[in-house]
Amino acid sequence: MTTSSCGECGSSLLLMRAGARFCSPNCRLKAHRRARNAGNLPVEMKSRPRFVRFTKTKRPVTTTGRSASSTNPGTWSSHADAVASSKGEGIGFVLGDGIGCIDLDHCLVDGDLADWARQVLADNPGTYVEVSRSGEGLHVFGLLPEGPGRNVRDGVRAIEWYSVGRYIALTGRRFRGAPLQLAPLVVPAL
């Protein structure tokens, strides 16, 4: 298979050796790190074909680069296929089938956890938590029946939780040694 652009940054490969997939050692390293991190997920997630890729603007795409949808299973793929694809910027997980996420925005400042976020984590021990792409938030994944989501912005907290019809852009960067398993989620009290 011949490719004409870098699998990481999209730069031209026309002047590179035959069979090259990346334009530089830096791009090759970034791609391998992202693929390795994407594997750091609970088996409960990796075993379900609920993965998409996403673009720089966080628009979901299929492993072939076409538009994907968080409500159309025909546009999702297996974990292995999502990791193997070079389309977009990374992989995302489509919530549902009993798996939900509590999204804590702007709760990490210089590595310190905000008190309100500390309480959410205390209420949800033993489940997978990862640092978001911004490095300022956390994704708390766990078992959650499908139902309506919530978005709480009260001047202190910035919390959302969803269990269906959404996808979360994954990083695979576990927060403080969080376990690679899912436990039942306790959503925050309003």
What mean pLDDT, rounded, does the chain reach?
Answer: 89
Nearest CA among 83, 102, 84 for reference residue 92: 83
| Confidence (pLDDT) at 155 | 87
Nearest CA among 142, 140, 126 for reference residue 44: 142
| Confidence (pLDDT) at 126 | 95
The CA dihedral of 159, 164, 165, 168, to the nearest 10 degrees, is 50
For range 178-189, the mean pLDDT: 95
Per the structure block, which two tokens stand in for 106?
């702007």
| Confidence (pLDDT) at 50 | 98
pLDDT at 27 over 80: no
For range 89-109, the mean pLDDT: 96
pLDDT at 98 over 50: yes
Distance between CA atoms of residues 13 and 20, nearest Å: 7
Alpha helix ranges (H) inside the chain: 25-38, 43-46, 79-84, 115-123
pLDDT at 51 over 50: yes
Tell me the pTM. 0.81
DSSP annotation of 67: B
| Confidence (pLDDT) at 100 | 98
Q: How far apart are the two ends of the chain, measured CA to CA in Å?
A: 54
Percent of the chain with pLDDT over 90: 73
Distance between CA atoms of residues 190 and 180, nearest Å: 28
For range 87-99, the mean pLDDT: 96
pLDDT at 169 over 80: yes
Per the structure block, which two tokens stand in for 180?
């690679």
Query: For residue 179, what pLDDT band results from cuts at 50, 70 and 90?
Result: very high
Per the structure block, which two tokens stand in for 89?
């910027």
Per the structure block, which two tokens stand in for 96?
């549902």
Distance between CA atoms of residues 190 and 188, nearest Å: 6
For range 108-116, the mean pLDDT: 92
Mean pLDDT is lowest, of 5-19, 24-38, 59-73, 81-95, for 24-38
Query: For residue 2, what pLDDT band results from cuts at 50, 70 and 90?
Result: very low
- Which residue's structure tokens are 């994407």? 38
| Confidence (pLDDT) at 1 | 37
pLDDT at 138 over 70: yes
